[in-house]
């Protein structure tokens, strides 16, 4: 059984284009619910994997989608969607079973990405007795705040 990678993508573009992308994701969601199989847009080859599962979004979050993929992010597919519709995106993904955690942006046809590496995950530890994570002298109930801080630091370094 595959580990599931959680994905969140936010597309940015003209309102009518975002509406078209919303319709694309609605169509894939409906097809998945009927077939109980992952989906890809019709304009993308079915040979490469990267299928979308459990697609959802919150009402009012135009252009923002959440979904799962098997094992790893489907960044290549998201980039193809962005290129097809001529939009930008910010893409967050995580699959903690394999220590996959990162963010990619696609702006003006340029894809950049930042992700945590093994040494990043080694910067904090879990205390089973207190059921807390310890990082830089502080205790946390979840490691997500730590991971987000580590990722934000790497993004700032990349921007300089």
Residues 60 and 137 in one domain: no
Query: pLDDT tens-digit profile of 24-59?
Result: 999 999 999 999 999 999 999 888 789 999 999 998
- pTM, full prediction: 0.91
13 and 80 share one domain: yes
Are both 74 and 146 inside the same structural domain?
Answer: no
> Tens digit of pLDDT for each residue in 54-102?
999 998 888 999 999 999 999 999 999 999 999 999 999 999 999 999 9
Based on the fold, state whether residues 24 and 97 are members of the same structural domain.
yes
Query: What's the domain range around 142?
Result: 117-159
Return the closest-CA partner of residue 150 out of 133, 130, 131. Answer: 133
Q: Let me know whether 88 and 35 are in one domain.
A: yes
Contacts of 36 (CB under 8 A, 6+ apart): none
Report the mean per-residue pLDDT for the chain.
95
Is residue 107 domain-shared with residue 122, that is, in the same domain? no
Q: Please tell me whether residues 80 and 121 are part of one structural domain.
A: no
Counting the structural domains of the chain, the total is: 2
């Amino acid at each position: 059984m595959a580990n599931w990678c959680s994905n969140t993508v936010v597309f940015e573009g003209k309102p009518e284009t975002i509406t078209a992308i919303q319709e694309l994701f609605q169509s894939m969601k409906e097809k998945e619910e009927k077939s109980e199989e992952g989906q890809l847009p019709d304009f993308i080859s079915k040979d490469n994997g990267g299928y979308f599962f459990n697609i959802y979004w919150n009402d009012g979050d135009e252009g923002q989608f959440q979904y799962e993929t098997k094992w790893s992010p489907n960044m290549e597919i998201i980039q193809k969607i962005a290129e097809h519709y001529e939009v930008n995106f910010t893409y967050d993904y995580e699959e903690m079973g394999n220590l996959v955690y990162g963010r990619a942006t696609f702006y003006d046809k340029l894809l950049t990405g930042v992700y945590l590496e093994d040494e990043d995950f080694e910067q904090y530890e879990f205390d089973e007795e207190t059921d807390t994570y310890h990082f830089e002298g502080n205790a946390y109930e979840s490691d997500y705040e730590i991971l987000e801080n580590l990722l934000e630091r790497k993004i700032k370094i990349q921007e300089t």
